[in-house]
Amino acid sequence: MFFDPMYFLFIGPAFLLGLWAQMRIRTTYAVAQRQAAPLSGAAAAKYILESAGIHNVRIEQTHGRLSDHYDPRHKVLRLSPEVYQSRSLAAVGIAAHESGHALQDARAYAPLTVRNAVVPLAGVGSNAGIWMVIIGAILGMNAYLIWAGIALFSCVVFFQVVNLPVEFNASSRAKAQLVELGIVTPNQLTYVNKVLNAAALTYVAATLQAILTLLYLLARFGGSRD
C-alpha cells in the first residue's frame, strides 16, 4: 500500500494539513517565545495545579524539544527544557495545556478516561493492523487476516477521534486558568491562543489521516473474500 498511488490520493489532504500545522506551530511558537511571562513554564504549571487543589502531580523536566506531556499512570507532568525553564508566553501556554490534562484526570473527565483505556489497542493497531492487512494481501487476499488488521486499525481511528475533545478541552482549561490566575493578561492570551490553536491543528490532521487511511483500507481490501 505504501507504493499505491491511490493511498497517497486518500491521505493527501491530511498530509498537507499536517505540513501546514507544523509550519504554523514553528512560526507562532517562535513569536510567543519572544513575549515575556511573569513565570516559567514549570512555575506556571505548579501554580495552576496547586490552585486547583492538586498536590499529587510531580512536575519534571524531560528531554527533547516540545516533548511535553502528562503521564496519568504515574501522575507526572513532564516539560521539555525550553518550556520548563523559559519565562515566555509560549512556555506558560504549553505548560498550562499539559496542566489541563492533569485537571481532566483529577476531575475524571470521561473522554480522557476512554482515551487512556484504548491507548494499548491503538498502539498495537497502528503497526500490527497495517501489517496484517499487507500480509493478508500477500497471502492471496486472506480475508480473515485482512479484516482482523482493519479491525485493529479501527482502534487507532477511535483513539484519534476521542483524543480531539481531550486536547481541545485541555486547551480551554489552560486559557481559562492562565487568565483567572493572572499569569497572562487578556491581551497576552492572543499569543497563547495562536500557539495552542496551531497545536490543535496537528491533532486534527492526525485524526483525518487515520480516518482516510481506514477508508483507503476498506476501499482497497474491504471486498476481499477467501
Cell of 157: 481511528
Q: Give the active site residues.
A: 98
Phi, psi (5° rounding) for residue 58? -80, 150
Strand locations in the chain (E): 58-61, 69-71, 76-79
DSSP states along 10-75: HHHHHHHHHHHHHHHHHHHHHHHHTSB-SS-HHHHHHHHHHHTT--S-EEEE-SSSS--EEETTTT
3-state secondary structure of 225: coil
